Structure 1
Amino acid sequence: MNTGLLILIVLAIAVAGYVIGRSRSLASAGGDIRLMHSLPRYHGQSVFIFAAVPAFLTLMVWLLAQPMIIESRVSSMIPPSEVADGSSLSLVMADVHRIADGLDVAVERGVMTEDELDTLRTDVTDVRSRLAEVGVAIGSDVSQSVFEAAKAYRDMGHLGRIIMAALVLLMAAAGAAIAFSKIAPRYRARNISEGAIKALMILSSTVAILTTVGIIASLLFETIHFFRMYPAEDFFFNLTWNPQFRGGSDLGILPLLWGTLYVSFIALLVAVPIGLMAAIYLAEYASSTVRSIAKPTIELLAGIPTIVYGLFALITVGPMLRDYFAQPLGLGTSSSSVMTAGLVMGIMVIPFISSLSDDVINSVPQAMRDGSLGLGATRSETVRKVILPAALPGIVGAILLAASRAIGETMIVVMGAGAAAKLSLNPFEAMTTITVKIVSQLTGDTEFASPETLVAFALGLSLFVVTLCLNIVALFVVRKYREQYE
């Protein structure tokens, strides 16, 4: 049975249990809701939970365990001679998967029946020709044992799906029956329902935490593997970035880190003043009509794809900076530069600062404004001395979000700043960032066995540490200012 259909059936059983359980609970109290410990909907929810949760947990565990078990059993059927000629077991199993999928397609399309499949298993040539009819090409080096393993893989998968469907449906029906048997006027169904909701919220929080831990762990393990192959002191202190997949690579992070910080600094130099002044104007000075038009218009910038910003940097901003600033000043002749990427990236992150800062400024209590104005302060003095200090934590958070967005940007840098890794103070020279090089090192046919590929994980972990340090600094500044203000 298809997994999607199985999920729909379980949901149908759970929904039906909710309706019936709700009605049955009310009937058990003789229609008098005052005699019940919990409302009828809580009884229905308890039936829904007992029917759905065990079934879905069983389905999840089965879907995780079945492929590993089948893979282990089928791989043991591959004779050692199949992998003795230099082929890895993973490549042979890839052939097994492809053939098994092809057999499923062939049966579905009527190219062969299940009975024919049993008789064809001894004729490799016939099986290859039948699979070719459904677009599955099998190499001539695939042996009889691989076909046998593919047939076993398919049969085990079908049997596993049948057992899974039966077990999941049994769990749903048994859970609903147990919940029905517990329905009574004094049954504490509300506790069951609220406990399940609490468990769901804890699970959601745990998933977020485990996802973060998983990301860090994956980066950390591959980074450790990289540093076993390439010296850490060269990575952190070498001033040259020159990866050569044939050996002799220089993989220093400093040129990439400099380019990342340089581009992000220019972007924030553009976005912070404009975004903050726009937020102050919209929150304190603009009329409701102007605000209703200007705020959504500014926020539209956040919805523009980064590839469009990249094209804008490549076609418009880059040539303009080159023709009107770089060449006349003798600072460069290329349209790809740090200034190009920084200006366009600054435009892109303006909405992050203006929108969030506007919301934070509007959240400052009106009584603080009235008190300042009542003491004789002007509106501008009120903004500078009362509103901005009170809204500082939120404004710092908005700037930090914009900085993180700028540090992690890739497409604008690729099309606006180029791909040259260098250390230079000239903003009209082409440079690159860490994110661009992460993409370039993992693009194409790569194997995770060379330092030139594994360096991408070291770059990613370094970028994570830089962003973490920015968060720590911002948190320190906010707390220190809060202490002074309070």
Structure 2
Amino acid sequence: MPTWVIIVTLLVLAAAAHQLGRTRAVGQTAGGTRLHSLPSYYGAYVALWCLLPALAVLCLWGIAQGPLLERSVIGEMPAQYQALEGGERTLLLNNLHNTANGLTPAQADPAIVSAAEHLNALRQTASWAMAVIVLAVAVIGLVWARGRVLPEFRARPSVERLVKAMLIIASAVAILTTVGIVLSLLFESIRFFGKVSIFEFLFGLNWSPQTALRADQVGSSGAFGAVPLFAGTLLITVIAILVAGPIGLMSAIYLSEYADSRVRSVLKPVLEILAGIPTVVFGFFAALTVAPAIRGFGESIGLSVASESALAAGVVMGIMIIPFISSLSDDVMTAVPRAMRDGSLAMGATRSETIRRVIMPAALPGIVGAFLLAISRAIGETMIVVMAAGMGANLTANPLDAVTTVTVQIKALLVGDQEFDSAKTLSAFALGLVLFLITLSLNVIALRIVRKFREQYE
């Protein structure tokens, strides 16, 4: 049975459990008996105990089913397949799953075909077993919780404890996910720095990560100086902020302080449409329109402009992040109390003086946050750089040359079949760790600016 059918069935069952619990609670009031909580809390209590244990069993089953079935299937294959380890075992599992999903190659191994058929049979059996067990757990939870619906039962505190536990679990999942990402970056980066000097990585001026995968291959030993990548990322980000910063901030000032309600209701949604355009569309626009225009203009005045340039990518990226600055800054300036504006105007200040000396200082924390979000968005962009700036690791400060960024190289290093024991693949994790530390530093700096400002004006 498909998982989505089980989930829909559980939701329907939970709705029925809510109604059963509420009906039983209302029935307890016959003869003037008073309930401790509202009937809806009794219904919510029954629904939660019907739904939550079943979902927990469903999640645990989904996590454990794959490895258990794989181990069972491989355990029944010939001995030479059972002895495989590492990458060879991973390749076997990939072939097994592909064959089970109908992607059988022309020269398929009979043993793998037989194992794939066995895997499909086990999957079907496990799917129905999962459905029966999950629904049984839901029914048991419903019956047990409904039996506790009595007038003296404290349903409201019980529901609040369950909801609080759900919120704690959700928070823990978010925190543990973040910790897991950081640890994975850290551990893989340590493996990379065991192969390549950290000094060479942080201060080297040549980036060419191609390496020979085997000892008998002829290939480059690789050069992992990441300075050209950091320089390219910085160059494109600076160009993007120089484009988006003034336009976004001035747009926010106009929308919040000068535009009337009718103009604002039209212009703000139109401006925010930019945030909904896919980045690949911006990449096409940069590659097919902006880059040729910049190159043609440069050649007309005697400049040498590359067909893929940092300027083209930065300009289009700046257009893309305008809504992040304009919309957030507009919301922050609109939230400044009206009394501050009126007080400034009453003292004889002009509207522009009020904006510069009252509104902008009061809204500075939000404006800093908007710029920080825009910078982080620009640093993490990939598609526009791939299509408009190229993938060449050039160490240059000339915006008319082709450059690349950290995110583009991470994408290039992890695309396709890779060996995660090579310095080439592990370098992607080192780049990710450095990028994480850079964005973390930006957050810390912004928080200090905001804290200092709030101490001054609040």
**TM-score normalised by the chain length of structure 1:** 0.86
1:209-231, Cα deviation, whole Å (9 max, x unpaired):
12212222222222222222222
**2:327 — aligned with what?**
355
Structure 2 residue aligned with 1:15: 15
Q: What letter is aligned with 1:89?
A: R
Identify the residue that residue 30 of structure 2 maps to in structure 1. 30
Matched, 1:213 2:212: no
Partner of 2:241: 268
Residues 349-368 of structure 1: CA deviation (Å, up to 9, x unaligned):
11110110000000000011
Aligned residues with identical type, % of pairs:
50
Cα drift, residue 153 of structure 1:
3.8
Which amino acid in the other structure matches residue 429 of structure 1? D
- What's the counterpart of residue 373 of structure 2? 401
Query: Which has the larger displacement, 309-318 or 374-383?
Result: 309-318
Which shows bigger deviation, 370-379 or 23-32?
Answer: 23-32
1:175 and 2:141 correspond: yes
Q: Secondary structure at the match of 2:146?
A: helix
User: Aligned AA for 1:28?
Assistant: Q
Compute the displacement of 1:268 (Å): 0.5
- Check if 1:139 corresponds to 2:111: no
Matches within 5 A, 1:278-293: 278-293=251-266
Q: Which shows bigger deviation, 267-276 or 149-158? A: 149-158
Q: Distance in 2 between matches of 1:339 and 1:98?
A: 44
254-263 vs 434-443, greater mean Cα deviation: 434-443
Q: Which amino acid aligns with 1:27?
A: G
Kindly provide the CA deviation profile for residues 266-312 of structure 1, in whole angstroms up to 9, marking residues without a partner as x: 11011111111111111111122221222112111212222222222
State how many pairs are aligned: 450
Contact preservation (8 Å) 2:298, 2:305:
no
CA 1:174 to 1:78, structure 2 compared with 1: closer, same or farther past 3 Å?
same
C-alpha distance after superposition, 1:428-485 (max 9, x if no partner): 1111111111111222332222211221111111111111111111111222222233
Please give the per-residue CA displacement for 1:306-327, whole angstroms capped at 9, x wherever unaligned. 2222222223222222232366
Give the gaps of 5 or more residues in structure 1: 103-134
What whole-Å deviation, never above 9, does each CA across 1:117-165 have from its counterpart, x for those lacking one? xxxxxxxxxxxxxxxxxx744635434xx56644554454444334333
1:64-79 counterparts in 2 under 5 A?
A: 64-79=63-78
Matched, 1:478 2:450: yes
**What's 2:422 paired with?**
450
Letter in 2 for 1:56: L
Match of 2:272 in 1: 299
Q: Is the 8 A contact 1:29 1:184 kept in 2?
A: no
- CA separation in 2, counterparts of 1:101 and 1:342? 43
Counterparts of residues 67-466 of structure 1 (less than 5 Å):
67-82=66-81, 88-98=88-98, 100-101=100-101, 136-137=104-105, 139=107, 141-143=109-111, 146=112, 149-150=115-116, 152-245=118-211, 246-325=219-298, 328-330=301-303, 332-466=304-438
Distance apart, 1:31 and its partner CA: 7.3
Q: Assess, with a 3 A threshold, how the Cα gap between structure 1 residues 403 and 290 changes in structure 2: closer, same or farther.
A: same
Equivalent-residue separation in structure 2 for 1:327 and 1:72 (angstroms): 67
Distance 1:336 1:155 in 2: 53
Q: Gapped runs of 5+ residues in structure 2?
A: 212-218
Q: Which runs of 4+ in 1 moved over 4 A?
A: 83-87, 98-102, 146-152
CA pair 475-327 structure 1, distance change in 2 beyond 3 A:
farther
- Alpha-carbon distance change, 181 to 445 in structure 1, aligned in 2, over 3 angstroms: closer
Give the drift of 1:35: 0.9
Q: Residue 93 and residue 31 in structure 1: after superposition, are their counterparts in 2 closer, same or farther (change >3 A)?
A: farther
> Does structure 2 retain, via aligned residues, the 8 Å contact 1:29–1:185?
yes
Distance in 2 (CA, whole Å) between partners of 1:238 and 1:424 is 14
**1:329–1:393 distance in 2 versus 1, CA, 3 Å:** farther
> Would the alpha carbon gap of residues 147 and 287 (structure 1) be closer, same or farther in structure 2, given more than 3 Å must change?
closer
Q: Helix, strand or coil for the counterpart of 2:110?
A: coil
Q: How far, CA to CA, are the matches of 2:99 and 2:287 in structure 1?
A: 47
Q: CA deviation at 1:84?
A: 6.4
SS at match of 2:301: helix
Larger CA Rg, structure 1 vs 2: 1
CA spacing shift, 1:150–1:349, aligned 2, 3 Å: closer
CA distance change for structure 1 residues 78 and 424 in 2, over 3 Å: closer, same or farther? same
What amino acid maps onto 2:77 in structure 1? I
Shift of 1:424: 1.7
Is the 8 Å Cα contact of residues 75 and 82 (structure 2) preserved in structure 1? no
What corresponds to 1:5 in structure 2?
A: 5
CA–CA distance in 2 between the matches of 1:61 and 1:393?
43
Q: Please tell me the residue identity of whatever aligns with 1:26.
A: V
Q: Distance in 1 between matches of 2:114 and 2:296?
A: 68
Tell me how far apart the structure 1 counterparts of residues 311 and 105 of structure 2 sit (CA, whole Å). 51
Partner amino acid for 2:62?
L
Could you tell me whether the CA contact under 8 Å between 1:272 and 1:399 is conserved in 2? yes
Distance 1:89 1:443, change over 3 A: closer
**Distance (whole Å) between structure 2 residues aligned to residue 43 and residue 175 of structure 1:** 14
- The one-letter amino acid of 1:198's match is K
Deviation at 1:247, TM superposition (A): 2.7
Name the SS of the counterpart of 2:305 in structure 1.
Answer: coil
Write the letter of the residue equivalent to 1:354: S
Flag the 1:430–1:375 CA change in 2: closer, same or farther, 3 A: same
The equivalent residue for 1:55 is 54
Tell me the distance in 2 between the aligned counterparts of 1:412 and 1:257.
Answer: 17
